[in-house]
């Protein structure tokens, strides 16, 4: 028996395509890849945020929702540099996860290591 939800794949596809709804103020708004694991006493969310510095990441847990957002600006142009190719630019990603009613979001902790953000929310 197949236990996967076919709507998960559709949601994932729609979250990664550059439709007009994914753009705001001329910037791409993309999602971060996440894993969510529930244990007996905690919920653990791991988000891939490679290339972001710790101070470019914002984590908010409130109203039964966990929101992870990261934003970085492109390197400023150097007048002495002539680019042959320039693909690194402003980037913004966001992801929101619904928390169970038993989540104690005020006690949530977060760590960031090797491009992976781990948020632990006690239940």
Domain enclosing residue 102, as ranges: 26-75+86-122
Is residue 12 situated within a structural domain? no
pLDDT in tens, 15-69: 554 444 444 444 445 678 899 999 999 999 999 999 899 999 999 988 889 999 9
pLDDT reading at 2 higher than 70: no
- Asked if residue 22 lies in contact with residue 93, where contact means CB atoms within 8 angstroms, the answer is no
Phi and psi at residue 105, in whole multiples of 5°? -60, -25
pLDDT of residue 17: 46
pLDDT in tens, 59-112: 998 888 999 999 988 766 667 777 787 777 778 899 999 999 999 999 999 999
Domain count, the chain: 1
Residue-wise DSSP of 29-89: EEPPPEEEEE-SSEEEEEEE-TT--GGGEEEEEETTEEEEEEEEPPPPPPTT---S-----
Q: What is the CATH number of the domain that holds 90?
A: 2.60.40.790
Is residue 91 situated within a structural domain? yes
């Amino acid at each position: 028996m197949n236990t996967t939800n076919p709507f998960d794949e559709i949601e994932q596809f729609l979250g990664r395509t550059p439709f007009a709804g994914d753009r705001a103020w001329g910037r791409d708004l993309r999602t971060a890849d996440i894993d969510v694991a529930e244990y007996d006493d905690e919920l653990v969310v791991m988000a891939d945020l490679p290339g972001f510095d710790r101070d470019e990441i914002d984590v908010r847990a409130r109203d039964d929702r966990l929101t992870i957002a990261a934003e970085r600006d492109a390197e400023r142009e150097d007048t002495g540099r002539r680019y042959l190719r320039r693909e690194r630019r402003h980037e913004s990603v966001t992801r929101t996860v619904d928390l169970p009613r038993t989540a104690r979001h005020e006690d949530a902790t977060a760590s960031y290591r090797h491009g992976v953000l781990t948020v632990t929310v006690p239940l």
